[in-house]
Amino acid sequence: MRLSLGQQMQLAQKQVLAPRMIQSMEILQLPLMALQERIEQEMEDNPVLDQLEPEADETADAENADAEDSRNDSLADGERELVVKDGTDNVDDFERLLDMAENLPDDYEERSRPSLNRIEAEADRRHDVMANMLARPESLVEYLQHQLAWFELEDDVRRMAERLIYSLDTNGYLKTPLEELLPPVPVETNGDVVGFRAAQLAIAEAALFVVQRLDPLGVGARSLKECLLLQLVPGTPDYDALRILITNHLEDLENNRLPQISKKTGLSIEKIQEVWQELRKLKPKPGADFNETTVPAVTPDVFVERNDEGQYEVRLEDTQLPSLYISPYYRKLLKDENTNAETREYIKRKVNSAQWLIESIEQRRSTLTRVSQAIVDHQTKFLDDGPDHIEPLKMQQIADKVGVHVTTVSRAVDDKWIQTPRGIFPLKRFFVGGTTSADGEEVAWDRVRIKLQEIIDNEDKTKPLSDDAIVDELGKAGITVARRTVTKYRKAMNIPSSRGRRDWAKSGK
């Protein structure tokens, strides 16, 4: 069937727009260091791209303010999501660039040359970086220990957490059973070996819970299944399907038994393949990127600080990113009547590519700022009082508040870190599951679990608390939940019932 001219144009337009949308999503997902590398690569591949150095002095910044405003005119609708609507015309983009070029001052090219002050500032910056470099990179153990300092822990829990960290293998797994890591029974126990070991095992379980909250996600796992489950964040697209595949069907996936999975789960083959692609993004060996000679640097993309009114505000730390613009030299070539058609078309394609990159970076800045601010606004108790006061939060809640799709939120927070008054945290760690308390209040799962473990640790081992008694103890701590919730969480934490704990203590196992 022969397509009409209009249909051919629409098809060609969609073929052009699809890579553009993909690029925009990729730019959004990149952390700061990776984005810098991407820009450097684009600068090499696209001759029409030019840059103002990020360390430009204030005079140069002031002189180029008008040019920068002109470049941002096309982003007046910056609140739009990273999706190109049908009907967008590349020619319109190009004409907008020509309008932008007309507004740039004639001496813009001269002004963009690096000044002596800027060169000196760059030299000072590089000297400072070299002066502050570590004699050797952090090991995985050191990396985890630094994060451990963020948590307010009892001394015995902290000591056990450090012991667990030192017991991890090179892939980040804990292969040694907890029972084998317990300290020897001291003489002062007066023969109460059972009680001592029960108390120490509870401390070890609490310490493992803390270690498994550290970055990289999945560290401290005792099996592949546990490792992958630890990497799932509540609210992630296809979260439930991912959890089902990981929990029950890893072997089936390995042997490509998709029809069998479909029969057992009710998921279509196409859906299973789609979720499988997401599963492949998880890391089966979270510690493999770390060794005694290399460790990925943690560079916060977002900083949060209190303003004069006592409210938390976020800002992006992207001053090291160059300010990109279209080269005046190529603008002149486009205006030159002597430029041949082939060269003109080449420049047009490169200009379109450059402008899309510039807009994608600006949109990344806008989206990441809005998403981060929404997260911070929701987690003020965490920032005020510490990790134990984190609130339940799903990505869909942030997506609804910001006005974007949940996948946009997922990409925005992926591999991004935020510097807070309480330390540096992965943005993903602010998304936690929760439960509804008896009085209708949302309570974070982490908060219930930490308090529940604390209550079990401090109970009389000869008279363990029933679930009803635990409900009362949680109520005293301001956490009002139903008995069935306590039972559910206790089982999820592999804590026996009060009878099981009493029998276990009596048996001395």
Give the model confidence (pLDDT) of 206-215 as tens digits: 999 999 988 8
468 membership: H or E segment, kind and range: helix 467-476
- pLDDT category of residue 463 using cuts at 50, 70 and 90: confident
Given a cut of 90, whether residue 60 has pLDDT beyond it is no
Q: What is the pLDDT of residue 374?
A: 95
Q: What is the pLDDT of residue 442?
A: 64
- pLDDT category of residue 186 using cuts at 50, 70 and 90: low
Q: What is the pLDDT of residue 348?
A: 86
Given a cut of 50, whether residue 494 has pLDDT beyond it is yes
Q: What is the pTM of this model?
A: 0.51
- pLDDT category of residue 233 using cuts at 50, 70 and 90: confident
pLDDT-wise least confident of 163-172, 244-253, 471-480: 471-480
Angle, CA 467 vertex, CA 461 and CA 470 arms, to 5°: 70
Given a cut of 90, whether residue 252 has pLDDT beyond it is no
Q: Is the peptide bond before 31 cis (omega within 30 degrees of 0)?
A: no
- Please list the helix, strand and coil fractions of the chain in percent, rounded to the nearest 5, in that order: 60, 5, 35
Q: How many CB atoms lie within 10 A of CB 370?
A: 20
- pLDDT category of residue 506 using cuts at 50, 70 and 90: low
Given a cut of 70, whether residue 66 has pLDDT beyond it is no
> What is the token pair recorded at 252?
């089936």
pLDDT-wise least confident of 257-261, 399-403, 443-447: 443-447
Q: What is the pLDDT of residue 291?
A: 59
Name the residue with tokens 């490509």: 256
Q: How far apart are CA 304 and CA 350, in angstroms?
A: 37
Q: How far apart are CA 20 and CA 354, in angstroms?
A: 11
Given a cut of 80, whether residue 416 has pLDDT beyond it is yes
Q: What is the pLDDT of residue 106?
A: 43
Mean pLDDT over 365-379 rounds to: 93
pLDDT tens digits for range 268-285: 988 998 898 888 888 888
Mean pLDDT over 391-415 rounds to: 88
Type of residue numbered 376:
V
Mean pLDDT over 411-426 rounds to: 85
- pLDDT category of residue 30 using cuts at 50, 70 and 90: confident
pLDDT-wise least confident of 76-85, 223-232, 415-424: 76-85
Please choose, from the candidates 402, 341, 344, 351, the residue with its C-alpha nearest in 3D space to the C-alpha of residue 373: 402
Contact status, residue 455 vs residue 465, Cβ threshold 8 Å: yes
Query: In three state form, how does the secondary structure of 331-387 look?
Result: HHHHHCCCCCHHHHHHHHHHHHHHHHHHHHHHHHHHHHHHHHHHHHHHCHHHHHHCH
Q: What is the pLDDT of residue 187?
A: 58
Q: What is the pLDDT of residue 166?
A: 85
**Superfamily (CATH H level) for 434-507:** Homeodomain-like (1.10.10.60)
- pLDDT category of residue 205 using cuts at 50, 70 and 90: very high
pLDDT-wise least confident of 187-201, 241-255, 308-322: 187-201
Question: 182-205: string of b/e by CB count within 10 Å (b at 16+)?
Answer: beeeeeeeeeeebbbbbbbbbbbb
The mean predicted confidence, pLDDT, of the chain is 75
- In percent, how much of the chain has pLDDT > 90? 13
Given a cut of 70, whether residue 484 has pLDDT beyond it is yes
Mean pLDDT over 252-265 rounds to: 87
- pLDDT category of residue 369 using cuts at 50, 70 and 90: very high
Helix axes 406-413, 341-378, angle to 10 degrees: 90
